[in-house]
C-alpha cells in the first residue's frame, strides 16, 4: 500500500468563536492528523479530526519529505502577524504557510482540486466570503463592496503587504 499518497497539507475553513469562517492548517498522514490554528497571536495544535469543516483546499505532500510531526516545525509564523491582534489574520497566515511549504519543495503548486498556488490567495478569500455569505454573517451590496475595495487598494496597508508577499513569491519562481 502506498502510504505517501495519503499525506496532505490542507487549508480547512471551520467555524470558530472569534471568526465565523476561520482558516486552519491540517497535516494528514494515514489516520493521523495535526491541526494548527492561529488565534490572536497564539498557535494552537490539536490531534483530533476537525468537525464542521466548511471548505478544504488540499495539497499532496511530495515523496521523500519528512513525516508530518517534523513538517509542522517549519510552520510560517511571521512576527508582524503574531504581534497584531485587532482582527483575525487566518487567511494571510494560511496563504503564507502553503506558500512556504511549496517553496521548501514539500508540496505541489497545484491543489488536489486544481487551485494553482498563484490563485490561492483569491480562492481563500472567495471561499471564506462565500461561507460567511451563506451563513448570513455577511451581507454586502455590490456598490458598497466595490467602493470598499477601491479604498483598500488606495489606502490599505494590509493589501499592500499581501501584494508585496505575492510579488516576492512570483520573483522567487522566476
Confidence of residue 150 (pLDDT cuts 50, 70, 90): very low
| pTM beyond 0.75, yes or no | no
Q: Report how many helices (DSSP H) and strands (DSSP E) the chain contains, helices first.
A: 6, 5
Please say whether the beta carbons of 15 and 52 come within 8 A: yes
Which pLDDT score, from 0 to 100, does residue 106 have? 95
Whether the per-residue pLDDT at 133 is higher than 70: the answer is yes
Quickly tell me which residue has 487549508 as its cell. Answer: 11
Average pLDDT of 126-136? 87
Confidence of residue 126 (pLDDT cuts 50, 70, 90): very high
Please say whether the beta carbons of 25 and 35 come within 8 A: yes
The C-alpha angle with vertex 117 and arms to 63 and 163, in degrees rounded to 5, equals 140
**Domain locations in the chain?**
7-135
pLDDT 10s digits, 51-81: 899 999 999 999 999 999 899 888 877 766 6
Whether the per-residue pLDDT at 90 is higher than 50: the answer is yes
Confidence of residue 143 (pLDDT cuts 50, 70, 90): very low
154 contact partners, CB below 8 Å, separation of at least 6: none
Amino acid at each position: 500500500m502506498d502510504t505517501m499518497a495519503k499525506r496532505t497539507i490542507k487549508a480547512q475553513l471551520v467555524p470558530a468563536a472569534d471568526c465565523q469562517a476561520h482558516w486552519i492548517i491540517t497535516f494528514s498522514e494515514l489516520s493521523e492528523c495535526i491541526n494548527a490554528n492561529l488565534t490572536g497571536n497564539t498557535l494552537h495544535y490539536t490531534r483530533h479530526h476537525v468537525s464542521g469543516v466548511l471548505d478544504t483546499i488540499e495539497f499532496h505532500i511530495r515523496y521523500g519529505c519528512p513525516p508530518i510531526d517534523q513538517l509542522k516545525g517549519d510552520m510560517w509564523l511571521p512576527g508582524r502577524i503574531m504581534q497584531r491582534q485587532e482582527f483575525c489574520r487566518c487567511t494571510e497566515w494560511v496563504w503564507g504557510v502553503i506558500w512556504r511549504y511549496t517553496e521548501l519543495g514539500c508540496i505541489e503548486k497545484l491543489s488536489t482540486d486544481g487551485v494553482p498556488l498563484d490563485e490561492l490567495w483569491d480562492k481563500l478569500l472567495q471561499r471564506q466570503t462565500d461561507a460567511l455569505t451563506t451563513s448570513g454573517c455577511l451581507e454586502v451590496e455590490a456598490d458598497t463592496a466595490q467602493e470598499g475595495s477601491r479604498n483598500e487598494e488606495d489606502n490599505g496597508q494590509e493589501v499592500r503587504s499581501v501584494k508585496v508577499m505575492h510579488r516576492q513569491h512570483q520573483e522567487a519562481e522566476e
